[in-house]
Amino acid sequence: MSWDGPVVDTHFHLDIINRGYDAVRRFREAGGTHLVLVHKPLFTPLPSSGEEFQRRFGETLKMAQEVERMLEGVWVVLGIHPVVAVKLRKELGTE
C-alpha cells in the first residue's frame, strides 16, 4: 500500500539565519506537501513592545508567503514563543 495523500509537518520553525528556505526545499524534496509554520523569533534583541511583536509576526507572515510559492499549502501559528516569555520575565520581572 502506498500513500498518495498530503504529507504535513505540523510544527515547522523556519530559521532564516540558519537553513532558511533551504529547509522548506529539503522538506518538499522528501515528499512534503504542506506545513504549519510556527512563529520563531530571533532571540536577540528580545522584542520589548507590542509594536515590536507585531513587526516580528509580520516577518513570519512574509516568510509564509514565500513558502506558499514552494508547497501546496502553509498555515501559520503566531504567538509569543515560550523562551521569549521566560527571558522577558527574567529581564522585566512579573509586574
Looking at residue 47, its pLDDT comes to 86
Instruction: Give the number of domains in the chain.
Output: 1
Residue 83 lies in a domain: yes
Residue 72 lies in a domain: yes
Residue 3 lies in a domain: no
Residue pointed to by grid coordinates 508567503: 65
Looking at residue 14, its pLDDT comes to 93
User: Among 89, 3, 2, which Cα is nearest to 48's?
Assistant: 89
Torsions phi, psi of 54, nearest 5? -60, -40
Q: Render each residue's pLDDT in the chain as its tens digit; 95 residues.
A: 888 999 999 999 998 888 999 999 999 999 999 999 999 887 778 888 889 999 999 999 999 999 999 999 999 999 998 888 888 888 877 76
Residue 2 lies in a domain: no
Determine the structural domain holding residue 70 and report its residue range: 8-92
Residue 1 lies in a domain: no
